[in-house]
A and B are shown apart, each in its own frame.
Chain A
């Protein structure tokens, strides 16, 4: 899947960028960060204009996010549970819920570009929790635009090192997720630790 999507992006550019970002935001496991980095490299090669690339990636991602939110809010229990299983199961949903509760709108914003493994799950949990749609849209658009601009520009700057950059960013993103998990667990366990001391 990863190779096919990259081959299509490399050959056809803009329409594939739009479609792939939308599908990835709904929750299909596509290598969206690598897609954006490769897009940046294509921008550096003069294949695609920078602003068009950022606009298409943002629009695609926002549309995908809205679908995820709509499933959470109006999809009903059966569809939600099926979709949650596709997105990574109860543990990932619980982590995303903790993230969303702790950070609210900022949680939506951060999961668009910094804690990206949680993005699709936060869409779903925001819908389930009836997080106000207008606020969700505002944070979503801001976060996706920042994410698209950030990763496409990184790809543009490191246009001859896209695979190494993707691996570094992938590990960085998981490191942030590990740090987030440590903070959430640490906070939950702190009363017990303090009682023992």
Chain B
């Protein structure tokens, strides 16, 4: 078999060679005029979100029901932005070669965790005392707050470590090729990276460990949030699968967020040649699987409660699904399961680029409504007792809540783009690794890529 390197028929992405190309691909592309406009718009929404935050905090911590929608915002950020890096983690362990263009795009989402951590803090003041309600922490007052604080803090630190370790070689590349104005900050971040074998080993092992810990801490954080803010607020709600449902719906939403981000990179960021069909097709298949899993985990809880027919269980079904928040539940169900599944099983949608992106945006909306039906409901009921006596009517969001909803877009996009100014959004070192490990060959009449598997 001959070894040809057809520059124009090579199916692999063409990597930059000159210093200007490198810097532009690493740092500059997204900030074209459209990108700048998006940045400013996101910044405005970020400010609106801060206004909403201040309004809500100044309203006091006395009435827990008022904080329902605030909790929705915090949990939504945890479920979407903080779950987006998971695809980078999982595919690193399975060694899928199609992940290389988007790993950095996924890892950059960890910076949104910083904002979410700050947003979580006031919520800790709203947690009611342990007396009279069912929890884990039998007599350890203050435990929920401590665990949530430590969990989120650990998650954010782990995420930032993950991002930093993975981006190190690219920050160094940017330092080496950047124009003189930007070099200082990059140099201090790159910390004398020269690419010795030892340094490479630290980076690759660091990514693996940070990645695994991030995954485990995220699952743990979902467990804490779903138990402390939802299950323990509703009397009689004993539901072991709910933390797992929460984590699975979050992985689905994280995938959706990443797909939407990849769409932005391809169509608005100028990274078209990096984000080809493979980068959308494989996550699209995963999105189908996770949308089906969303239904599976939801159904597992529902069938046990519905079949059991005990008053406590019927109360939970009334509160979170078929009672005052029925509309939010139905919208969430349709947008998280019905629509994504029936769109993605259709080949023209799934094997396209735009299809998974559109389905991803649908899921992002659906996840929001799903969190509303859980958290707005759980914050509105009385947590004392063994059984739910009375389900109060649905609360609608107030002005502060609407400002926070607008702020969600800003919290995610503005923080992300701010991080992109410093941390290169394209993992060029991973792509170079891909180039080295692959060859293009002719097999019969076709060009095929041969991928080396040194393990």
A and B form one complex: no
Binding site for B on A (CB under 8 A): none
Binding site for A on B (CB under 8 A): none
